[in-house]
Amino acid sequence: MTRSSSVPLVLAFHLSAIFLMLSCGSASPPKQLLVRVPPGYAGTVHIEVCVNNSPADDISLDAQGIGSTSLCPSANGRIQITILRGSQTIAIAPSEVHVSRTGDGLATSVETNLRP
């Protein structure tokens, strides 16, 4: 009587499950930033990142469009910005947000352009 081993089947099942978990987990949603700009502001939005004692996700910019956050974007992290300008709410897609980085990949700032 021949008995087949179930080890290859169990191994294949476990490897498939691990692959599925890793592939689904790698696509993390973009970080959300709420950015308040002065009424009528248009131009470059410049946000310094990884700044201690700065708010993480609710940022107010000065009249020159500069602000800071304690958020530190990961190497492949995406950022979505929601702008509040007076009574206007403007969504900035991650593809329109530029993350400046040092040579070793550390984020230094986030920038986007805000149209009138």
pLDDT digits (tens, 9 = 90+) for 100-109: 999 888 999 9
19-39: burial string, b at 16+ Cβ within 10 Å, e else: eeeeeeeeeeeebebebebee
Residue 34 near residue 57, CB atoms below 8 Å:
yes
The closest alpha carbon to 115, from 48, 27, 44, belongs to 44
29 vs 12, more confident: 29
Residue 93 near residue 87, CB atoms below 8 Å:
no
Predicted confidence (pLDDT) per residue in 13-62, tens digit: 666 656 655 555 556 788 899 999 999 999 999 999 999 999 998 999 99
Q: Where are the domains of the chain?
A: 28-114
Q: How far apart are CA 104 and CA 87, in angstroms?
A: 40
Residue 82 near residue 56, CB atoms below 8 Å:
no
pLDDT of residue 76: 78
Mean pLDDT for the stretch of residues 74-78: 82
pLDDT of residue 77: 80
pLDDT of residue 34: 96
Cα dihedral value 51, 57, 59, 65, nearest 10: 80
Residue 11: pLDDT over 70: no
Alpha helices in the chain (DSSP H): 7-25
